[in-house]
Structure 1
Amino acid sequence: MHNIFIALFAYLIDRKFGEFSFIKHPIIVIGEIITFFEKKFYKDSVTRGCLLVLFVLGIVSFFTLLLYLSLQLFNPFLNILISSFIASMFIAHKMLRDSVQNLLHVKNKKEAIAMLVSRDTKEMSESDVYKAAIETYAENLSDGVIAPIFYLLLFNLSGIVIYKAINTMDSMVGYRNEKYEKFGKCAAKLDDFANYIPSRLTALIIMLLAKQKNIFAFYEDGKKHESPNAGHPITAMALALHVQLGGDTSYFGKIKKKAHFGTGKEKIEKEDVQKALKLL
């Protein structure tokens, strides 16, 4: 029950206030630890990348355990209140919603979507922009909302902080390019493992909220994604909105062949994005 109260209050705090400008965000601190190790000890090697993971998780685990033990000195009410405040900083629902919502109201939609996705945006149609917005919203519901809450419920503050450390390492070094193919492999695989259950849980939640008859229908298309996890919430969102997501996409000037997710209409409209935002 202790963890449930913390998770509930943390989610509500995030939905109401979002990011706190008066305090340095802990994700930035984790990013600085990753950058420090990379600058000092980078080597094009899987072993060195695994050492990065051990280094970052060791530091994060130590300070999180210290924080957890310190909070035990407070009475239960204060413990839950402070824990909820800290945990809320690792949930990003308001920031995610606001970023996608903002896209619907700005004049330069291509410039706005470029801040959210890594794909080429210059030649995007309005439908492409809306499709990218729905895809990034669905995928990040798992990474930024459901997964953090999932690990918070299971392992208290330690769970949510360690999960976000894993997720941050993946976002910084988990790329399949010349520099990070080996160095980032350990971080990327660990992130895949950590998101295995939450990504499918996110898809199930979307299907349930959309009142889909077959709540596991997302799996068939979801497993076609190159990521072992991202395709499931994206497919679930496509089925919930009755649209088709995915398809060939341009990255860094080259067309990348991608599977299609869902079987609905191909032209995505503003109303479809609004429906996605209302769903959760």
Structure 2
Amino acid sequence: MTAAEGFAPAKINLTLHVTGQREDGMHLLDSLVMFADVGDHLTVTLSDTPQLTVSGPMAKGVPDGSDNLVLRAADLMGASADITLDKVLPHAAGLGGGSSDAAATLRVLSRLTDTPIPSDVSALGADVPVCLGNGAARMRGIGEQVTAARDLPCLHAVLIHPGVPMRTPDVFAAVGQKNNTPMPSEIPENLSAIDFIDWLRGMRNDLEYAAISQTPVISQVLGALTVTAGCRMARMTGSGSSCFGLYTGEETARAAEGRLKEENPGWWITATRLNAQP
């Protein structure tokens, strides 16, 4: 059988505004998402015996049974496959790794089986629809309203995960104010990277304070990013505990990566580009 490769990039919530809560408890969001050029890798082969093998530097703690989103995505496609998942992204880190893995699985199996991806993938999680698009996007509602965000610049960033996993339901439960203002109706287009970052500084991640109250090291991570040369802003992504810093260019981001790795050897740290052109 022919094997097919898939890439599952890290999902970065540049903004995450909590704008309400439904009667069923689901939270309403308004978030601007970009994807990094670092992520997990999949190798997929159609097989009569479905199987998932998890390998790579971040494989520890990742479930390899039927509850893994990769196998659930294969089931949704009605496909039986032998899948190897090379985990590069930390688990339960706020980087959308599981959702991105599921989206990549859907894309690869769609190619292998010449079968369209189902229109409703919500059973796999709220982040899977935006991860399917694999490009800069605005996601609203509970994640089902996805609009491509065009003419945005490539951003140079440093990602940090301090090694502490977070449970998303716990973070949302700790948010005190659930009806916050959304982003402006229009996201600015055709700005330089520096001007766009300055605009982002006026936005928020409404989960940040709640996450810090549960995991104070997040505040330490944000402080470490902020004091590196060339950092224009630092913010937590998703429900944590990963954070990102945005920089004036690739050279400053790489320099910050080196310094941060020297000072914090126990953290997962990588320089990356967001919204990089293929």
TM-score by length of 1: 0.29
**Structure showing greater Rg:** 1
Structure with the largest fraction of helix? 1
Greater relative CO, 1 or 2 (CA 8 Å, sep 6+): 2
Structure with the largest fraction of strand? 2
